[in-house]
Amino acid sequence: MRNPKSVVLVSGGMDSVVALHHSHKEQEVVAALSFHYGSRHNDREIPFAQWHADRLGVPHLTIPLAFIGEQFQSDLLAGSGEIPKGHYEEETMKKTVVPFRNGILLAVAAGLAESRGAASVCIAAHAGDHAIYPDCREEFMRSMGDAIRLGTYAGVEILRPFIAMSKADIARHGHDLGVDFSRTWSCYVGGEVHCGECGTCVERREAFLLAEIPDPTQYLSTGPLPPKPAAC
């Protein structure tokens, strides 16, 4: 590759932390980039993003996007309604949408990549991403990739190394890379420990089970996992 420098989006969740370790092995990561956009679980997950970046010797940056919490409406944001439990489903999970979140995060990452001489922005999008979020869909990602490539001098590319993988595949890959998953955060509720019941907790628990690797997470509740709805 001509210019292997990359900016990696790292929320502190398990997928993006694996993406950071994966990218660090393959490229020079000029920044591990977290966003504090006012969501309840940001305070839990960003310190983990920082921890992994420090461990790998990668500069970590947190971009404050407080205006999203102040000006945008979403139940994912601090102080708004209750987070729905169980699997992602159209009606309940629409409430957790931060409008055009991936568009905003990728645009900021692209600007930073351009300003730091990086050729790419890496995002841990994967095959299990939810089609109910329009800014997770393939056609959005393709257009956003075009916009970023065409809108930067360097022709910055979006990299999605996990796009053909499931969350369980990513967990297995992270396990092989030696990722300490106890230092990652998924729960949207944002309590002291993972709730074990919200959409992201359910998916986290399933990923470890399907990957057949130990789950080091402390959950408030480890009741039976809900059956997966046909729509997902």
**14-26 helix and 42-56 helix, angle to the nearest 10 degrees:** 20
Q: Does 193 bind its own copies (CB under 8 A)?
A: no
CB neighbour burial string for 149-180, b if at least 16 within 10 angstroms, e if fewer: eeebebebbbbbbbeebbbbbbbbbbbeeebe
CB of 135 to its own copies, least distance (A): 4
**Of 64 and 216, which has the nearer Cβ to its own copies?**
64
- The span of 72-80, 159-167, 173-181, 187-195 binding its own copies (CB under 8 A) equals 72-80
Answer for which of 9, 123, 125, 148 binds its own copies (CB under 8 A) is 148
Partners of 77 in beta bridges = 39
Give the integer Cα–Cα distance in Å for 183 and 49.
8
Which position among 15, 129, 135, 157 is part of the footprint of its own copies (CB under 8 A)? 135
Among 151-159, 167-175, 178-186, 205-213, which window interacts with its own copies (CB under 8 A)? 151-159
Instruction: For the CB of residue 140, give the shortest distance to its own copies in the complex, in Å.
Output: 4
Does position 120 bind its own copies by CB under 8 A? no
Among 55, 81, 127, 143, binds its own copies (CB under 8 A): 143
**Quick check: 151 binds its own copies (CB under 8 A)?**
yes
Kind of pairing, strands 60-64 and 5-9?
Answer: unpaired
Q: Do 194 and 220 touch, CB atoms closer than 8 A?
A: yes
Its sign, for the CA torsion 48, 62, 77, 148, is negative
224 binds its own copies (CB under 8 A): no
Stretch that binds its own copies, among 10-18, 69-77, 201-209, 211-219 (CB under 8 A): 69-77
Per this entry, what is the length of the chain? 232
Tell me the two tokens of residue 210.
């399907």
Asked if 53 interacts with its own copies (CB under 8 A), we say no
- Taking the C-alpha atoms of residue 103 and residue 100, their distance in angstroms, rounded to an integer, is 5
Is position 11 an interface residue for its own copies (rule: CB under 8 A)?
no
153 contacts its own copies (rule: CB under 8 A) = yes
d(CA 164, CA 147): 22
Which residues here bind its own copies, judged by CB under 8 A? 61, 63-64, 66-68, 71-74, 94, 97-104, 106-108, 110-112, 114-115, 134-135, 137, 139-140, 143-144, 146-148, 150-153, 156
